[in-house]
Amino acid sequence: MVPYGDVFVGSFQQLWYQLMLFLPKVLVALLIWFVGKYLIDTAVGLLKKIEFKGIKLADKALNTVTQVVLVLGKFLLVLIVLDYLGIAQSLVNALLNGLSFAVAIALGLSFGKALEDDAKHVVSEVKKHFNK
């Protein structure tokens, strides 16, 4: 017969041991969070100090860029902290892959739209050569 008190004490000791092993990781994750947040705020502050004299559109664009840097920086910081803690590593990997694919598609679409007129011209020239 197994004494239930020994099972409870053994389980509690194992839980306490795992908690004590996880606590330093949490402290380092908090340190990463605070340092990362400081660096993001510093980068946004430096971006806000850039001045374009007399150009109103540049100020709006600069505000948009600072907001994008702030949001993306915090998002990546959360992913870095979660990855360090080992929480949902497959989720973090999937999000990073999705983010990189989204950036690649956005760049491809923007360059494709920017070069649309040149592409029409090239296609029309190729059609002329094939129709001869």
Pairwise pLDDT comparison (1 vs 36), residue with the higher score: 36
Which of these, 83, 100, 84, lies nearest to 92 by C-alpha position?
Answer: 83
pLDDT in tens, 65-86: 889 889 999 988 988 888 888 8
pLDDT at residue 109 in the model: 85
pLDDT in tens, 81-120: 888 888 877 777 888 888 899 989 988 888 788 878 887 8
With cut-offs at 50, 70 and 90, classify the pLDDT of residue 39.
very high
State both tokens at 88: 């949902």
Mean pLDDT of the chain: 83
pLDDT at residue 101 in the model: 92
pLDDT at residue 127 in the model: 86
Residue 115 has φ and ψ, to the nearest 5°, of -105, 15
Q: What is the pTM of this model?
A: 0.58
Q: Return the DSSP state at 87.
A: S
